[in-house]
């Protein structure tokens, strides 16, 4: 068979080889007809075997989750194990097999639904959530009874190239980077959750390849994450050569990590701030281990997502306090809620919109719901006593929004003061520059904020009118476009004019091709997925600020993103820096 070549968009750098696993959530089909009486004992045995397998799998998932996400996150699986081991659940299912002559699968479906509905109808929110747990366990048990693959990816072994339409946070939670050596998605782009996760886990990934017709589990594949290319069923020589390159890449990553404790300074002693982007409190440690000297973007929306209720002040405070303490005095920029666009919010039931990226989102929701916003601001202000906590507003389009947000911040402070609750009075407040109206008029905004942080993920989509989630136009999504670079430069010049710092927390900050250009146009702080820090630091330490300025001056004379990209590549290659 001739190799199948697929082209997509780079999601995470590097090269990986392995055996394809096509990840599809198979629907469970259950035969509800009654069984013969003499088949009952066999079905009971099948149930017991499947229950043992379910408990073993849950134990394995729990220890993996504890390793990758921490004990607290893994506690949910401990609760699942306890429910699965509860004799009344098995007895209930067994009773349905024996008394109603149902198959093990039909009896499980019926019994689990009954228990789950009972819990879901309870008043107490804690008990209600147990309904979802029972459904989850029931799903796993059913798959074991029917000999299907379990949901999730924790069961994978060997060296796997994962092929999926897209990956959800719960899919990636069970993903083992020693097993999954490459990711290919048919949908999504470089800023999708799957891509961000792939970069965090350092798994080479190609996004948005479109159709994967003819690609099946068990085939060999090469994922060239840097180039955005995939080769399925390559010839043996090519597979062997790429496997060697993949091993070399993994070794190179290991070596880069040794540099975590080295300072981020250029050869001519220009100091650069390299920060990490995080979405969960426990990611802060990973970022620090890889050399982050601060957190330039803490995306707080994950606190709001996947829950029926808005997070309380206390729940938020606990999380922000944890991050502030973990950073031991280094800066932590907490971004206020940025829901909308691609992120849905179950607890607010927002209606579907025709243009969600241009709609009711982020600061627009917060200003419309001042009580909800002040709850978050109070939690951040209180956490401020534990470290260098800073506040950042997302999706700012006009100065009125900055002023309105600041007025609510002052109200939150006044409330805390009146209640005698300790908080940090002089928390620095900055804005994300991710809407062109702000980048174009950055001079007007610079006076009113303590810092800017450029969100290139959105700035690029709004400047170029390219939906960041639409893989069909992924080739038009070009952070190195001359217009985007000019907006970035204008923002930096404006903030420097007011003696303020400019950071960048969009994905471009972690793109090695952009590092020298951004240094050259004066970016002070680069905040990125933790896994990008070592390679960006390697570049910072290998160059002088003078040569970066010269390079940036030349880049600003070039006319297209392709020319800029080719030029940046040639400069890095000449320096012997591997991408
Ligand atoms: C950005 O837009 O660049 C950014 C960092 O925010 P998000 O990706 O969360 O929209
Ligand atoms: Mg954004």
**pLDDT tens digits, one per residue of 463-480:** 999 998 888 898 999 999
- What are the structure tokens assigned to 550, written together? 């010269």
Do 425 and 475 touch, CB atoms closer than 8 A?
Answer: no
Does 481 participate in catalysis according to the annotation? no
Mean per-residue pLDDT over the chain, rounded: 91
What is the DSSP secondary-structure string of 67-111? HHH-HHHHHHHHHHHHHHH-HHHHHHHHHHHHHH---HHHHHHHH
φ, ψ of residue 262 to 5 degrees: the values are -80, 150
Measured in Å, residue 490 CA sits from the centre of ligand 1 at 19
pLDDT of 171 over the 90 cut: no
Distance 224 CA to ligand 1 centre (A): 25
φ and ψ at 163, to 5 degrees? -115, 125
Give the residue, out of 194, 299, 487, with the most ligand 1 atoms within 8 A of its beta carbon, to mutate for a pocket test: 299
Q: Among 162-171, 372-381, 444-453, 494-503, which stretch is predicted with the lowest mean pLDDT?
A: 162-171
Distance 432 CA to ligand 2 centre (A): 8
Say which of 155, 193, 289, 307 is annotated catalytic. 193
For residue 455, give the ligand 1 atom closest to its CA. Answer: 3
121 is written with which tokens? 């109808």
What are the residues whose beta carbon lies below 5 Å from ligand 2 (ion)? Answer: 434, 455, 458
Helices 236-257 and 533-542 sit at what angle, rounded to 10 degrees? 70
**How confident is the model over 240-276, as pLDDT tens digits?**
999 999 999 998 888 877 888 899 999 999 999 999 9
Q: Does the pLDDT of residue 69 top 60, yes or no?
A: no
Q: Whose CA is nearest to atom 8 of ligand 1?
A: 457
Number of the ligand closest to the Cα of 342: 1
Residues 6+ apart with CB under 8 A from 380: 316, 320, 334, 336, 389, 391, 427
| Residues whose beta carbon lies within 6 Å of some atom of ligand 1 | 191, 297, 299, 338, 434, 455-458, 505-506
- In this predicted model, what pLDDT tens digit does every residue of 316-371 receive, in sequence order? 999 999 999 999 999 999 999 998 766 667 788 788 888 889 999 999 999 999 99
- CA-nearest residue for atom 7, ligand 1, is 457
Q: Strand 15-22 and strand 220-224: pairing?
A: antiparallel
208 pLDDT higher than 80: yes
Q: Which two tokens stand for residue 440?
A: 């174009």
Q: How far is the CA of 505 from the centre of ligand 1 (A)?
A: 7
Q: Output the CA 463–ligand 2 centroid distance in Å.
A: 13
Q: b or e along 197-207 (b: 16 or more beta carbons within 10 Å of the residue's beta carbon)?
A: bbbbbbbbbbb
Digit-coded pLDDT (tens) for 507-558: 999 999 999 999 999 999 999 998 899 989 999 999 999 999 999 999 999 9
For a mutational test of ligand 1's pocket, the pick from 190, 506, 532, i.e. the residue with the most ligand atoms closer than 8 A to its C-beta, is 506
Told to judge if 193 belongs to the known catalytic residues of this protein, a careful annotator would answer yes
Q: What long-range pairs does 41-44 form, CB within 8 A, spacing at least 24?
A: 43/97, 43/102, 43/103, 43/104, 43/107, 44/94, 44/97, 44/98, 44/104
How far does residue 433's CA lie from ligand 1's centre (Å)?
A: 10
Residue 173 and residue 65 in contact, taking contact as beta carbons nearer than 8 Å: yes
Residue nearest to atom 9 of ligand 1 (CA): 299
Q: To test the ligand 1 pocket, which listed residue (434, 463, 464, 479) has its Cβ within 8 A of the most ligand atoms?
A: 434
């Amino acid at each position: 068979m001739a190799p199948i070549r697929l082209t997509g968009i780079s999601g995470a750098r590097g090269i990986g080889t392995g055996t394809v696993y096509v990840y599809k959530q198979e629907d469970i089909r259950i035969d509800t007809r009654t069984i013969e009486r003499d088949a009952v004992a066999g079905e009971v045995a099948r149930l017991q075997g499947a229950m043992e397998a379910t408990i073993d799998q849950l134990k394995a998932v729990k220890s993996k989750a504890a390793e990758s996400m921490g004990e607290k996150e893994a506690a949910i699986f401990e609760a699942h194990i306890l429910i699965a081991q509860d004799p009344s659940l098995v007895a209930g299912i067994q009773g349905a097999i024996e008394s109603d002559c149902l198959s093990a699968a039909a009896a499980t479906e019926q019994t689990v639904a009954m228990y789950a509905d009972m819990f879901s109808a309870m008043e107490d929110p804690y008990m209600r959530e147990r309904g979802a747990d029972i459904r989850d366990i029931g799903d796993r048990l059913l798959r074991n009874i029917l000999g299907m693959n379990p949901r999730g990816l924790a069961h994978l072994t060997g060296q796997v190239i994962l092929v999926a339409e897209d990956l959800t946070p719960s899919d990636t939670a069970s993903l083992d980077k020693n097993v999954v050596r490459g990711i290919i998605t048919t949908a999504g782009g470089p800023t999708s959750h799957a891509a961000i996760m792939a970069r965090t886990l350092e798994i080479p990934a190609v996004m948005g390849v479109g159709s994967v017709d003819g690609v099946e589990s068990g085939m060999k594949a090469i994922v060239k994450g840097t180039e955005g290319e995939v080769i399925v069923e390559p010839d043996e020589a090519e597979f062997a050569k790429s496997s060697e390159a993949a091993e070399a890449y993994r070794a190179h990553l290991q070596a880069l990590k040794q540099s975590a404790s080295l300072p981020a300074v250029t050869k001519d002693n220009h100091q650069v701030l390299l920060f990490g982007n995080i979405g969960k409190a426990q990611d802060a440690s990973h970022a620090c281990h890889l050399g982050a000297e601060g957190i330039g973007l803490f995306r707080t929306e994950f606190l709001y997502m996947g829950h029926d209720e808005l997070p309380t002040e206390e729940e938020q405070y606990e999380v922000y306090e944890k991050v502030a303490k973990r950073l031991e005095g280094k800066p932590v920029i907490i971004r206020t809620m940025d829901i909308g666009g691609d992120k849905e919010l179950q607890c607010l039931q927002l209606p579907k919109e025709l243009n969600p990226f241009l709609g009711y989102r982020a600061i627009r929701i917060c200003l419309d719901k001042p009580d909800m916003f002040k709850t978050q601001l109070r939690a951040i202000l209180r956490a401020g006593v534990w470290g260098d906590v800073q506040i950042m507003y997302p999706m700012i389009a006009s100065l009125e929004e900055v002023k309105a947000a600041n007025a609510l911040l002052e109200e939150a402070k006044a409330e805390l003061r009146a209640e005698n609750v300790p908080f940090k009075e002089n928390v620095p407040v900055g804005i994300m520059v991710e809407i062109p109206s702000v980048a174009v008029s950055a001079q007007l905004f610079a006076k009113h904020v303590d810092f800017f942080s450029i969100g290139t993920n959105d700035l690029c989509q709004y400047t170029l009118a390219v939906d960041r989630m639409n893989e069909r136009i992924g080739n038009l999504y070009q952070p190195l476009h001359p217009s985007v670079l000019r907006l970035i430069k204008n923002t930096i010049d404006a903030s420097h004019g007011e003696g303020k710092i400019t950071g960048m927390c969009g994905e471009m900050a972690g793109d090695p091709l952009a590092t020298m250009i951004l240094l050259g146009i004066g970016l002070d702080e680069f905040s990125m997925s933790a896994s990008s820090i070592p390679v960006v630091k390697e570049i910072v330490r290998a160059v002088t600020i003078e040569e970066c300025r010269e390079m940036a001056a030349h880049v600003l004379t070039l006319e297209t993103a392709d020319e800029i990209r080719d030029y940046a590549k040639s400069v890095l290659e000449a320096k012997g820096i591997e991408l």
